[in-house]
Amino acid sequence: MTWNFDILPDFIFNGLSLGAIYGTVALALVLIFKATTLINFATGELAMLGAFLVYVLHMEQGLWLWLSMALAMALSAGLGVLIERTLTRPFDPEDHLPVVLITLGLFLIINAVAGDIWNYQVRILTNPFGKFPDWVPSVGGDRFVEVFGSRLKYQSIGIWLTLAFALFALGLILNKTKAGLAFRAVSSNVESARLVGVHTGRTLGFGWAIASAFGTLGAVLVAPQLGGVNPNMMATILIYALAGAALGGLDSLGGAVLGGILVGLIQAVLVTWGGVVVFGQLYMSILQLAAAFLIILIVLLFRPSGLFGTRRVERV
């Protein structure tokens, strides 16, 4: 057994960029959980649908990639509002089971509809960060820069910058706008929010909109790593994102991002790099999924509120 540290930075970079994607999807989960204490199992499929919208707009209709992404995020947001209004609002918010079942049903329906329209083959979607733009001076290659003797991919840098920008925008929306304040109020205390005149339904719709847009962003960023888009692309991503959200604390937005990144790191460094070191080859993909479940299990057992979540204290 040789401890091959030369290749470790590669795995760290990989873990950090995958983790950033998990963090993006985990944010979508946590945004809705914070406001409703509800896990939206359709998060991944809504994100997949968003990625297919980008596919249709960009690859089929020939729109500029970034414009297609903006449009797809806006359309996903609209769909999120529609789902909140028609499928979740009519139900008693205190009773979680019906709504959770509805999100599970949505998961299956969206997956089946996407499969019917686009079938289950992987379709190539342009990588927004495939090659450095022409104005960037060449430092190693057109797809990566050399750091610590390892290749730091443009894709990773692009994902980090995109996530940083998205988080900044989310922070502005939540902290500097009236709708954001209302959303934080509803997340904190629904009844009191109603008593200051907040329309809680509309505000939850607003949360669904942001969450759906974030999900779509995550799906578009992860697509190149999966070889493209396909209706099942988000199934395992959602599990890693769930592990990240659980690890960070289901009601902490910052925790979701950090938890997602940690899961990516654990996956890439502990499991994959560790696997290479111990077994000398890459055949650990099953273990990666197992690691995600293990994280969920350990967090639920020993620290249900996660690293940054609010501990629920029952007051009498």
Partner 1 sequence: MVDDVFDEVGLKVENLHASYGAVEVLRGLDFEVAAKGVSVILGANGAGKTTTLRAICNMCNTSGTVTLGDDDITRTGTAEIVRKGVAHVPQGRGTFPELSVLDNLMIGAYTRKDKEVKDDVDRWFEIFPRLSERSDQLAGSLSGGEQQMLAVARALMCRPRLLLLDEPSLGLAPLIIEDLFERFTTLNKETGLTMLVVEQNANLALEMADYGYVIESGEITLSGSADQLKNDPAVQEAYLGA
Interatomic CA distance for residues 80 and 53, integer angstroms:
14
DSSP state at residue 208: H
Task: Please state the closest distance from residue 242 (CB atom) to partner 1, in A.
Answer: 23
Helix ranges (H only) for the chain are: 8-36, 43-54, 65-83, 96-118, 154-176, 178-188, 190-195, 200-222, 234-248, 253-265, 274-279, 285-302
Of 229, 235, 225, 249, residue with least CA distance to 19: 225
Whichever of 43 and 200 has its CB closer to partner 1, that residue is 200
Contact call for residue 253 and partner 1 (CB under 8 A): no
Q: Which stretch binds partner 1 (CB under 8 A): 63-71, 196-204, 258-266, 280-288?
A: 196-204
Among 76, 187, 212, 230, indicate the residue that binds partner 1 (CB under 8 A): 187
Q: Does 312 bind partner 1 (CB under 8 A)?
A: no
Q: Which is nearer to partner 1, 244 or 309 (CB)?
A: 309
**Residue 151 found at the interface with partner 1 (CB under 8 A):** no
d(CA 220, CA 77): 15
Among 182, 220, 221, 263, binds partner 1 (CB under 8 A): 182
Stretch that binds partner 1, among 19-27, 91-99, 181-189, 293-301 (CB under 8 A): 181-189
Q: Which is nearer to partner 1, 185 or 234 (CB)?
A: 185
Grouping H, G, I as helix, E, B as strand and the rest as coil, residue 283 is coil
- Tell me how far apart the alpha carbons of residues 75 and 236 are, in angstroms, rounded to a whole number: 24
Q: Which of 188, 278, 280, 297 binds partner 1 (CB under 8 A)?
A: 188
Distance between CA atoms of 200 and 19, rounded to whole angstroms?
32
* Residues within window 198-217 making contact with partner 1, judged by CB under 8 A: 198-200
What is the x/- site pattern for partner 1, positions 44-73, by CB under 8 A? ------------------------------
Determine the Cα–Cα distance for residues 169 and 213; give it in Å rounded to an integer: 12
Q: Which residues bind partner 1 (CB under 8 A)?
A: 178, 181-182, 184-185, 187-189, 191-200, 310
